[in-house]
């Protein structure tokens, strides 16, 4: 984990290989900080890095990334319509 992220988001779950899709850290009263990812940047990584087409990348995101539950400090995702 990046040193700044370690400091500001201690204990937050990070997704391996998707560091370039991180756009921030979110906080909520009563919960630890969480890493905020851009959905569109994740899709771009899956297309470029893994050779998926856009439909495959969206399906992979929906089932394997968005559907992940790794604890209270699970990552969160931003979609800009």
What is the pLDDT at residue 4?
81
Helix-, strand-, coil-residue percentages of the chain, each rounded to 5: 40, 20, 35
What is the pLDDT at residue 8?
86
Phi-psi group of 44: left, alpha or beta (phi > 0 → left; psi -120 to 50 → alpha; rest → beta): alpha
Band (pLDDT 50/70/90 cuts) for residue 77 is: very high
What is the pLDDT at residue 2?
67
Dihedral in degrees, nearest 10, Cα atoms 8, 2, 6, 15: 100
């Amino acid at each position: 984990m990046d040193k700044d992220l370690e400091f500001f988001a201690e204990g937050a779950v990070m997704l391996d290989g998707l560091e370039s899709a991180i756009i921030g850290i979110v906080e909520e009263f009563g919960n630890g900080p969480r890493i905020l990812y851009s959905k569109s940047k994740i899709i771009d990584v899956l297309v470029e890095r893994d050779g998926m087409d856009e439909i495959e990348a969206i399906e992979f995101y929906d089932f394997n990334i968005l559907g992940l539950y790794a604890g209270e400090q699970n990552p969160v995702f931003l979609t800009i319509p």
